[in-house]
Amino acid sequence: MAISDSRITYQTKIKKGMMKMGKNKLYVAYGSNLHIEQMAYRCPTAKAVGASRLTGRRLLFRGGRGGAVATIEPHEGGYVPVLVWDITPADEAALDRYEGFPFFYRKEKVKIELNGKRRTAMVYIMNTEGRGGEYRPLNQPGVGYYATILEGYISAGFDTDILRQATEDSVEAERAFITDEIKTFISEVRSAGECNMLDVTAVQRYAHEHEMYSLVIYLEEHKRKYINFIMYGTENPREI
């Protein structure tokens, strides 16, 4: 669909939605559900009723590399543009399934300005930890997913610099796995002079023989980070 056609569709949806809004829940979309056609397929009875913004927040992407998805988090002075939908209980049930509620995304109530009035709406926000306690890091979205959100931004007339900034902000500082104890063990192995410090197998064998068990496990799980530490003095040479 051409962008100009998307703008017409967007405005038409807004006008129709304003006439029918009233007894259903308001839902605000900031990610892929800005896309009119996608929402029409997923929630056929949902109606777009206007645009607003969530203040004190910023848009981010969390998840696997190249597959992260959108969320919002508190950020002083920031704001996230949103499209407001009037949804039925059936629409909400469909969104719950799509968003993985309540384990992947949770629901929160937010205050928005809509057509000059202060209203309460529902928004989905990602849980940064999964059911098993796994952490969902900041990361980059996939090309197709990003393009879907971008089309939504353009159709709604939102500032696309906000979307671009979100990708720049969604770079997780790499976590450090090396502890002070492990650094001490590495220093002891180096001082002993019995093995090449870049020979991970030899270092691991020495560490095991001398009961440096945390170093043994570290070498098993983080070989690349160990090599970086030996060569550059840090696990993450990009930080130098």
Question: Are 191 and 147 in a shared domain?
Answer: no
Does residue 174 lie in a domain region?
Answer: no
Is the CB of residue 85 less than 8 Å from the CB of residue 27? Answer: yes
The whole-angstrom separation of Cα 146 and Cα 161 is 13
Is the CB of residue 44 less than 8 Å from the CB of residue 71? Answer: no
The model carries a pTM of: 0.66
* Residue-by-residue pLDDT tens, the chain, 240 positions: 444 454 545 555 554 544 444 489 999 999 999 999 999 999 999 999 999 999 999 999 999 888 999 999 999 999 999 999 999 999 999 999 999 999 999 999 999 999 999 999 999 999 998 888 788 989 999 999 999 999 999 999 999 999 999 998 997 655 667 889 999 999 999 999 999 999 999 999 999 999 999 999 889 888 988 998 999 888 876 555
Instruction: Give the CATH number for residue 154.
Output: 3.10.490.10
Given this model, what pLDDT does residue 20 score?
47
Question: Are 154 and 199 in a shared domain?
Answer: no
For residue 198, the enclosing domain spans: 180-239
Is the CB of residue 176 less than 8 Å from the CB of residue 236? Answer: yes
Domains held by the chain: number? 2
Question: Are 84 and 165 in a shared domain?
Answer: yes
Question: Are 127 and 209 in a shared domain?
Answer: no
- CB-based burial, 160-171: b 16+ in 10 Å, e otherwise: eebbeebbeebe
Question: Are 135 and 203 in a shared domain?
Answer: no
Question: Are 147 and 202 in a shared domain?
Answer: no
Out of 142, 169, 196, a domain closes at 169
Out of 132, 149, 169, a domain closes at 169
Indicate the helix (H) or strand (E) that contains 163: helix 160-169
Is the CB of residue 70 less than 8 Å from the CB of residue 63? Answer: no
The whole-angstrom separation of Cα 30 and Cα 8 is 20
Out of 139, 169, 199, a domain closes at 169
